[in-house]
Amino acid sequence: MTAVRTGYGPIINDTSGRATTLRQIGGTGVAFWKQLAYGAHLEGAWNTVEHVTLTAGASIGEHLHDRTEEIYYIVAGQATMRMNGVDFPVGAGDLITTPIGARHAIENDSGEDMAFYVTEVFPGEGPPARPRHLGLHHAMAEAPGYRDAPLPLRVAAVDLTEPFTGPWHRFARIEVPPGARTGDYALDQCTEVVFVVSGQAAVVVEGQTFTGGAGFCAAFPAGAERRVENISARRPLCLISTEVRVP
């Protein structure tokens, strides 16, 4: 284990206490918005980590990403995404990358609420890559030894160094079997934010245990040792993890 190198500490949050926004960024209808972690409280070039729910028929207006690079992970439901003037459908389990200089919007044209997870990171140098749209639920595979887990977890991991110029590292969708857990692990070169998509989790960090269901979120500074447990004996735990390299 490597000792935490700075004064940054873990952050624990969830999606309760959401704000209600009307016509978000020039869109239509009603959205529910929650900032899960403020970038200044995370070591590295993070700007924000958020969760957004679009009610049926609502949209987020088209806007230019001229300051940050961004990912959307669709947590639940379906919508239509517009990226640089091209419309395409997105649904639960999809990851969408928005490089610096891209313009995008999203519309919930289904009859039900939809939700997505957002991370923004400040860019680096170099030309922007093309946006990417990846269906991670189709890419899940057993990953023995992932996060030092005693039993194999199912994982779909994406290298984020390719579609971005900023210090992104990796995004992963992780399934922990009932009653299973990760090992005690630390990421020496990255800050990590973990979000519960479904199931019941316990996070053990700095001698404390925090629990939560869907919408639970935990941020870990580089070098912090932690463990994530599935505290359900019946249902798998589905997590997403975002890693950003620290200076």
DSSP per residue over 199-229, as a string?
Answer: S-EEEEETTEEEEE-TT-EEEE-TT--EEEE
Are the C-beta atoms of 99 and 122 separated by less than 8 Å? no
Q: Which domain, by its residues, includes 236?
A: 137-245
Do residue 22 and residue 124 come from a single domain?
yes
SS3 126: coil
Per-residue pLDDT in tens (0 to 9) along the chain, 247 residues: 344 555 799 999 999 999 999 999 999 999 999 999 999 999 999 999 999 999 999 999 999 999 999 999 999 999 999 999 999 999 999 999 999 999 999 999 999 999 999 999 999 999 989 999 999 999 999 999 999 999 999 999 999 999 999 999 999 999 999 999 999 999 999 999 999 999 999 999 999 999 999 999 999 999 999 999 999 999 999 999 999 999 9
| 39, part of any domain | yes
Are the C-beta atoms of 89 and 80 separated by less than 8 Å? yes
Q: Provide the pLDDT for residue 7.
A: 72
Do residue 126 and residue 62 come from a single domain?
yes
Do residue 205 and residue 187 come from a single domain?
yes
Q: Provide the pLDDT for residue 1.
A: 38
Contacts of 213 (CB under 8 A, 6+ apart): 196, 199, 200, 201
Do residue 131 and residue 20 come from a single domain?
yes
| 178, part of any domain | yes
Closest listed residue to residue 175, CA positions, set 125, 83, 237, 233:
237
Do residue 128 and residue 46 come from a single domain?
yes
| 10, part of any domain | no
| 162, part of any domain | yes
Closest listed residue to residue 177, CA positions, set 109, 228, 115:
228
Q: Provide the pLDDT for residue 5.
A: 55
pTM to 2 decimals?
A: 0.96
Do residue 149 and residue 194 come from a single domain?
yes
Q: Provide the pLDDT for residue 6.
A: 57
Do residue 185 and residue 120 come from a single domain?
no
Whole-angstrom distance, CA of residue 157 vs CA of residue 176 = 14
Q: Which CATH number do you get for residue 225?
A: 2.60.120.10
Do residue 168 and residue 212 come from a single domain?
yes
Do residue 93 and residue 174 come from a single domain?
no
Q: Provide the pLDDT for residue 32.
A: 99
| 3, part of any domain | no
| 48, part of any domain | yes
Total domains in the fold of the chain: 2
